Amino acid sequence: MAFSSCLSQSRVLFKVNCVVGLSSRVCRGNGTSPSPNTGHFTRRAVEKMGAKLKPGLSFTGTPLSITKENLGLAVDRSKSYPVSASCLPSSQLAASVFTIGTIAVLPFYTLMVAAPKSELTKKFIGSSIPYILLGLAYGYLLYLSWTPDTIKLMFSSKYWLPELSAIAKLFSSEMTLASAWVHLLVIDLFAARQVFQEGLQDNIETRHSVSLCLLFCPIGVLVHFITKALTKNVKQQIH
């Protein structure tokens, strides 16, 4: 009797696990959380099967602790899996834009350094397309990262000035950090183009300044001003 009771309960428990596991796998495969109707159907099936369980003994002679509450808890736990995956699309989008934006500006810097006097370089650098595309990407990331607390964090002091701790909290989001990176890419490339065009106009060496603009834009602009002043001084002495 103990063997047949345990075998019967094992079959019922196997069916319950199949119902719960199937519901969880279907939800995870579709990338959605279980709907209320699905949850109610699964719970009714579990309760129906759980109601058929009768008190019995296991092979060791100890009571089996299979209850409807425990089975219902398993259904509730199965709903928690899609929650942790809900943040993956935003994280992947931020990482993709970060990588694509970084790669997109490299050809412009390469042309300005490797072939500064080439007609192809002048044509590429004079184009507004990269600024338009990066500006659209920045606006989209800014829209996705915007929260009701964004303005509050940006102007957190009583004088409506930014505070370092609040800005650090604001940039704790990957989406906000990706938008800030695209912002830097646009500003750095624009500054490098300005340095490059001034170099062509005044016949000044700009390859070192443009390279610094890619990595440390303020230092690159500073070096360009120093180079411009030194070049002007040398030309005056020659004349």
Asked if residue 182 has pLDDT above 60, the reply is: yes
Determine the 3-state secondary structure of 216 from DSSP: coil
Cα–Cα distance for residue pair 191/7, rounded to 1 Å: 77
Using CA atoms, how far residue 192 sits from 112, 120, 212, in Å, is: 9, 17, 9
Q: Are 180 and 174 in contact (CB under 8 A)?
A: no
Determine the 3-state secondary structure of 62 from DSSP: coil
HSE value, Cβ hemisphere, 13 Å, CA-based, for 15: 13
Cα–Cα distance for residue pair 129/73, rounded to 1 Å: 56
Query: What's the chain's Rg over C-alpha atoms?
Result: 32
Place of tokens 């279907």: 26
The confidence band for 160, taking pLDDT boundaries of 50, 70 and 90, is: confident
Give 61-87 pLDDT, tens digit per residue.
444 444 444 444 444 444 444 433 334
Give 96-147 pLDDT, tens digit per residue.
999 999 999 999 999 999 999 999 999 999 999 999 999 999 999 999 999 8
More confident residue, 155 or 216: 216
Task: Write 59-65 long-range contacts (CB < 8 A, 24+).
Answer: 59/2, 59/3, 59/6, 61/2, 64/6, 64/9
pTM beyond 0.75: the answer is no
- Fill in the DSSP letter of residue 57: B
Who's near 48: CB < 8 A, 6+ residues apart?
Answer: none
Q: Is 4 left (phi over 0), alpha (psi -120 to 50) or beta?
A: alpha
- Fill in the DSSP letter of residue 66: -
Using CA atoms, how far residue 123 sits from 102, 192, 195, 225, 239, in Å, is: 21, 15, 16, 24, 33
pLDDT of residue 81: 41
pLDDT of residue 53: 44
